[in-house]
Structure 1
Amino acid sequence: MTEAARTLHLTRASHIKSLRQPWLIPGLIPLSTLTVCAGRGGAGKSSWVLARIADLTHGRLSGDVRTPADALIVGPEDDWSAVMVPRLIAAGADLERVHRFEVRTTYEGGESSTSSPVMPLDVDRLREAIDVTKAGLVMLDPASSIVSGDLNKREDVRAAMDRLATVAQETRTAVVIVSHFNKGAGSVSDKLTGSAAFRDAARSVLVFAEDEETGDRIVSVDKSNYSAAAGESLAFRLESVDVPTDDGELTQVARVIDLGVTDRTVHDVINRGSEDEQDDRNAAQAFVLDYIRSTEAQEANAADVIKAGRGAGFNESEMKNARRRCRNPKIQSVKSAFGAGWVWQLDHEGVTEGVKGVTTLRPDTFDTLADTFARPPAIVSLFPSPHQPQETS
């Protein structure tokens, strides 16, 4: 076979039009690229993605796809008749807009069989499926079933992920890959099953865990290349519902009940009970409180607090999480009116300042995100829209 010729190709940046990054769900799932949803078994990651697919089929999402759109699902682990379709019904999906994506192989003699696609072998079939359905979201669940090769080899994983990313970009589709956690405590960033290439290739990584104290499920933004949502979390609950089946019976499946923004994180939940982890969290909170209390105005530029924290051995994520966990007093993050970025300030009273010098009621006196989720037809942005100012420190 003749080797393809490779030649130099240069393009001036001035000849490339700049574009805003599009979103399926602002802060959570970007369009035109890859998102990984990871967690232990039973954490609710697949159910949560199916709930978002249901929203997509009815045009209820707040991003750049606001009219009903189709979705593709690769789900070889679950029986479609007994599990997948009932779960979609429970989520309220328009089943006409949801497609099981398989590959048909025809053999000599005319016999054929269907199987789940593997990447990168079947990436052209995926592109064809997106072109036919105009799908806004592709769900691949689980990651271990869609990679051709060794899940732990960076080269094999990267070959699959890079081709998937190319298709996502060319079709302006969100590709969501569901993955599992390794066992044990520790940093959630290091817990994805298989090669680290899964996390590296994804532009957004959402991690899931069950809060055993409440039964709630937590989804945290572990990585977000296109927004400032990293470190933020949402809570949801799984409730069991009876779904009538076509054979005249009832089957029980889980349905997602969105609860809105929470200050609990997956990192906190999976490391709860670790004495060393508790000491680290307390130390970070104490540092933030002491730093702000040492100022005359009882407030400080967020970037200054984070910089000082680094000098004391804490990373940026630990500083931001510490600020969110502080109680009695709380530490509010507000936008400075003088172009100085974000300010962290102690909140001793029942009011806070949204912009410095302008006093407003506390945010919790307004509708919560949980209220908005309960109010059809549209879901608002779960985190600040890319069109609005976002906290970067």
Structure 2
Amino acid sequence: MFQIREKSRAVTKMSEIKEQPVKWLWYPYIPFGKLTVIHGAPDSGKTMFACRLMAACTNQINLEEMEKRSPGNVLYFTADDDLSDMVRPRLIEAGADLSRVFVVNDMLPFTLADDSIEKLIEDFDIQVMIVDPIQEYLEYEVYGDEPELIYPIILKLERIAKHTGCAILVTAYSDGRGGKNGDRWKFDFAEKISSVLCLERAGTEAKESSLIHEKCLLAPEGKRKVFMLEDGAENGNCP
């Protein structure tokens, strides 16, 4: 008869745990070492916001009420837009330092389950990683009937962010604030997503988009921001 040896559990007194204050890329919207989601309907300005965030990270062109910090490197995954005629012009318009923006441009198959993500962050000293949009890098439908299939990826990204100290931001198509798909980010994956942001555009002709802070586990939700979408606009203004 085989005997199963019981494993001892590691137990630590809370008095021995060192308190670690949260570091912020943009308080209270985007923390370092955590996972942030920004969702919205198509054409709500998610990619343009991502480009302005990259300008803030790489070239100190800060968003409103963002504390000044030393320039850092960004890892950007995008599958929707062409790098040469869409992404690069937008980054230049936003004022980003292109030498600090890293993109994966090989033809190898890639999903967020790939084990190379953490190595890329460490090899290129990445402070901020942006996935735009997350749907293009998943093997399952994010708004399907089985959200538990997506949970391991959310958990993995959260662990990578925690281990590396990198701020990980993913954009997602949704039906907007209060919609069934949009609410999934606040509720189904609630404990692993530290901050949920929603971009809303009044209409296809509108020249501005509102950034709404729907949920934050680490601080009170931030106030609504308005971002101009037209060329040459300022980075962000609060109404």
Aligned to 1:176: 169
| Residue 211 of structure 1, CA deviation | 2.4
Question: 1:7 and 1:49 mapped to 2: Cα distance?
Answer: 46
RMSD, aligned CA: 2.5
Question: 1:261 and 1:47 mapped to 2: Cα distance?
Answer: 17
Aligned to 1:52: 53
| Residue 73 of structure 1, CA deviation | 0.7
Aligned-partner SS, 2:57: helix
Tell me: CA distance 1:145–1:65, structure 2 relative to 1, closer, same or farther (3 Å).
farther
Amino acid at match of 1:15: E
Question: 1:257 and 1:201 mapped to 2: Cα distance?
Answer: 33
Question: 2:157 and 2:19 mapped to 1: Cα distance?
Answer: 23
Offset from partner CA, 1:365-389 (integer Å, 9 cap, x none): xxxxxxxxxxxxxxxxxxxxxxxxx
Offset from partner CA, 1:187-218 (integer Å, 9 cap, x none): 25x43287753555311011011124963210
Question: 2:132 and 2:7 mapped to 1: Cα distance?
Answer: 36
Give runs of aligned pairs for residues 304-315 of structure 1, distance below 5 A: none
**Rg (Cα) greater in structure:** 1
CA contact 2:28–2:221 (8 Å) conserved in 1: yes
Does residue 155 of structure 2 align to residue 162 of structure 1?
A: yes
Aligned-partner SS, 1:37: strand
Question: 2:183 and 2:82 mapped to 1: Cα distance?
Answer: 23
Question: 2:61 and 2:135 mapped to 1: Cα distance?
Answer: 30
Does residue 222 of structure 2 align to residue 261 of structure 1?
A: no
| Residue 63 of structure 1, CA deviation | 5.9
Which shifted more, 145-154 or 163-172?
145-154
Question: 1:228 and 1:88 mapped to 2: Cα distance?
Answer: 30
Aligned to 1:266: none
Does residue 18 of structure 2 align to residue 17 of structure 1?
A: yes
| Residue 160 of structure 1, CA deviation | 0.2
Offset from partner CA, 1:216-270 (integer Å, 9 cap, x none): 210010011111125x200011113xxxxxxxxxxxxxx65334223xxxxxxxx
Aligned-partner SS, 2:39: strand
Aligned to 1:341: none
Aligned to 1:134: 125
| Residue 13 of structure 1, CA deviation | 1.5
| Residue 28 of structure 1, CA deviation | 0.9
| Residue 154 of structure 1, CA deviation | 2.1
CA contact 2:197–2:215 (8 Å) conserved in 1: yes
Question: 1:259 and 1:138 mapped to 2: Cα distance?
Answer: 21
Question: 1:259 and 1:155 mapped to 2: Cα distance?
Answer: 36
TM-score, normalised relative to structure 2: 0.85
| Residue 114 of structure 1, CA deviation | 2.2
Aligned to 1:35: 36
Question: 1:53 and 1:23 mapped to 2: Cα distance?
Answer: 15
| Residue 144 of structure 1, CA deviation | 0.8
Higher RCO by CA contacts (8 Å cutoff, separation 6 or greater): 2
Aligned-partner SS, 1:175: strand
Question: 2:51 and 2:233 mapped to 1: Cα distance?
Answer: 9
Which shifted more, 190-199 or 145-154?
190-199
Aligned to 1:192: 182
TM-score, normalised relative to structure 1: 0.53
Tell me: CA distance 1:136–1:256, structure 2 relative to 1, closer, same or farther (3 Å).
farther
Question: 1:193 and 1:222 mapped to 2: Cα distance?
Answer: 9
Offset from partner CA, 1:335-384 (integer Å, 9 cap, x none): xxxxxxxxxxxxxxxxxxxxxxxxxxxxxxxxxxxxxxxxxxxxxxxxxx
CA contact 2:207–2:230 (8 Å) conserved in 1: no
| Residue 8 of structure 1, CA deviation | 2.3
Question: 2:94 and 2:121 mapped to 1: Cα distance?
Answer: 23
Amino acid at match of 2:51: L
Q: Which runs of 4+ in 1 moved over 3 A?
A: 59-65, 193-200, 212-215
Aligned to 1:80: 83
